[in-house]
């Protein structure tokens, strides 16, 4: 097609930008894709010869990188050059919740979006289509347009030589299945005003996405649809977790309730698994964004409704740590708890907003000695998240059992010997390997009375039935 896109630049080589651009490069070998980032270390990892060192773990990502890297997919810090060469620029930088100033704790911090737009305004040449890939508050496109327009009007070197269109094309990928989701999207949403720009972006997706999945809306609907999708998904999890608590109190079983309601085609069966509470970089941030927008536009009841989804999630995490403490006789001092899983879900190394962070902090606060295992999360990352160094780093002797009564933690790479003398095991991430643990053998290694707390509902109760382990699982009020 005439005037098709030949050169794409993506600003931000993170969880969204990296995998998304890898799939575009894979499906569109005729397009050159340049992913740029201000973080030199991250770019070095993307260029690492050892594919195990890629900064992001996603099943299938390494194979695509192997196929396309340095053919039509490039990672660099050369932001200026790649912006100037691009026909289309995706902005995929992070937008964390503001920690201070107006909207602190709720609104998104758009400083990196603004910085990216300013760089585009400065270096882009000819006509450039700017695509919002990051999840953004509604009407952010207006900000980007304003910044780009200021370049067009400016008295700088080459005024009016560059022109822009702005589109919104939110990403719905889910971590852990990012490559599958990108290759088989339920829909691709493109919001914009200029049909020719929309058509050029649609043309890229048509290389692997069928026509009926390409949805076109106005730009504000597209921005709001992304926030709404995440809010609805998170709301389902808070809903089922609230019912789980009720199940535990009444003798019902949340799995049975989920199954029963999920068979109603109007409700559907997905996102009805009770767990330790939702995590991930998006759900909380996006709901707080909705809360802020609602307050800003004078809709306090709408704000309160969505805020309750986040509040329930926080309450639920604290509820889990409290019930563990209660079952271990009200004190965790000198008690060893093996924590299985720290990532916010399986198949990812991402710990952002993971329920494990708050739950582990609470248990440490109660004096527990945690032995944390996760197949993909590093000890250093856990230390950052808990804001506490592991016991073995703080103390010369690494004998975990000889620690004093203060709560502390260590991490382990292997489960061999992990359960020796443990008072409890707590499952927080649904990694496959935890399903294979032999509880009969494990039971013999633990101190009695021993507990297994399964916050992910991945253990078949029959496997624990004839052991000495007391078994608790999320949302289970049925006495086993």
Question: Can you give the binding site for ligand UDX, defined by CB under 6 A?
Answer: 11-17, 37-39, 42, 92-95, 112, 115-116, 134-135, 171-175, 230, 233, 237, 271-273, 275, 278-283, 344-345
Dihedral Cα 83, 84, 85, 89, nearest 10 deg: 30
Closest to ligand UDX by CB, 175 vs 423, is: 175
Exposure of 395 in the CB half-sphere (CA atoms within 13 A): 15
Closest to ligand UDX by CB, 238 vs 408, is: 238
Strand segments, DSSP code E, in 374-468 are 408-412, 424-427, 450-454
Of 301, 393, 314, 311, the C-alpha closest to 361 is: 314
Q: What's the min distance (Å) between Cβ of 310 and ligand UDX? A: 13
Distance CA 139, CA 166 (A): 12
Exposure of 50 in the CB half-sphere (CA atoms within 13 A): 2
Exposure of 244 in the CB half-sphere (CA atoms within 13 A): 28
Question: Does a cis peptide bond (omega within 30 degrees of 0) precede residue 449?
Answer: yes
Closest to ligand UDX by CB, 108 vs 408, is: 108
Active site residues: 282
Q: What's the min distance (Å) between Cβ of 172 and ligand UDX? A: 4
Distance CA 326, CA 329 (A): 5
**Cβ atoms of 253 and 245 closer than 8 Å:** no
Of 220, 13, 221, the C-alpha closest to 112 is: 13
DSSP string, 174-237: -TTSHHHHHHS-S-EEEE-S-HHHHHHHHHHHTTTS-GGGEEEE-HHHHHHHHHHHHHHHHHHH
Distance CA 301, CA 291 (A): 10
SS3 464: helix
Between helix 254-262 and helix 219-250 the angle, nearest 10°, is: 140
Closest to ligand UDX by CB, 352 vs 403, is: 352
Q: What's the min distance (Å) between Cβ of 92 and ligand UDX? A: 5
SS3 359: helix
């Amino acid at each position: 097609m005439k005037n098709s896109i030949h050169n794409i630049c993506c600003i931000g080589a993170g969880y969204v930008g990296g995998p998304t651009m890898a799939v575009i490069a894979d499906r569109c070998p005729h397009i050159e894709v340049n992913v740029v980032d201000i973080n030199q270390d991250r770019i070095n990892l993307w260029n690492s010869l050892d594919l195990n060192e890629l900064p992001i773990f996603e099943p299938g990502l390494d194979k695509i990188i192997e196929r396309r890297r340095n053919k039509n997919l490039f990672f660099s810090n050369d932001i200026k050059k790649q912006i100037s060469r691009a026909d289309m620029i995706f902005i995929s930088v992070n937008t964390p919740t503001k920690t201070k100033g107006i909207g602190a704790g709720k609104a998104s911090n758009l400083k990196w979006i603004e910085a990216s737009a300013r760089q585009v305004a400065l270096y882009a040449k000819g006509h450039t289509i700017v695509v919002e890939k990051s999840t953004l508050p509604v009407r952010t496109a207006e900000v980007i347009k304003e910044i780009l327009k200021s370049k067009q009007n400016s008295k700088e070197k080459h005024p009016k030589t560059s022109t822009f269109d702005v589109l919104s094309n939110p990403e719905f990928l889910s971590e852990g299945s990012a490559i599958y989701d990108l290759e088989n999207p339920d829909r691709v949403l493109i919001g914009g005003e200029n049909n020719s720009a929309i058509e050029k972006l649609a043309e890229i997706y048509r290389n692997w996405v069928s026509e009926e999945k390409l949805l076109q809306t106005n730009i504000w609907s597209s921005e709001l649809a992304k926030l709404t999708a995440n809010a609805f998904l998170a709301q389902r999890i808070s809903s089922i977790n609230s019912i789980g608590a009720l199940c535990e109190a009444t003798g019902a079983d949340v799995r049975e309730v989920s199954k029963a309601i999920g068979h109603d085609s109007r409700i559907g069966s997905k996102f009805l698994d009770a767990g330790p509470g939702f995590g991930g970089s998006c759900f909380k941030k996006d709901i707080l964004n909705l809360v802020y927008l609602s307050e800003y536009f004078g809709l306090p009841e709408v704000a309160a409704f969505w805020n309750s989804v986040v509040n329930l999630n926080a309450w639920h995490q604290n509820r889990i740590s409290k019930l563990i403490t209660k079952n271990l006789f009200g004190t965790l001092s000198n008690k060893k708890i093996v924590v299985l899983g720290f990532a916010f879900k399986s198949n990812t190394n991402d710990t952002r907003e993971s329920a494990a962070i708050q739950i582990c902090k609470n248990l440490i606060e109660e004096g527990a000695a945690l032995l944390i295992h996760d197949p993909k999360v590093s000890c250093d990352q856990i230390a950052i998240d808990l804001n506490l160094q592991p016991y073995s780093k703080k103390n010369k002797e690494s004998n975990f059992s000889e620690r004093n009564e203060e709560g502390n933690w260590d991490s382990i790479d292997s489960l061999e010997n992990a359960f020796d003398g443990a008072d409890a095991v707590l499952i927080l991430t649904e990694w496959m390997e935890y399903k294979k643990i032999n509880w009969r053998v494990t039971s013999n290694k633990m101190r009695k009375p021993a507990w297994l707390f399964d916050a992910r509902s991945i253990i078949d109760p029959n496997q624990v039935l004839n052991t000495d382990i007391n078994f608790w699982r999320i949302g289970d009020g049925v006495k086993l």
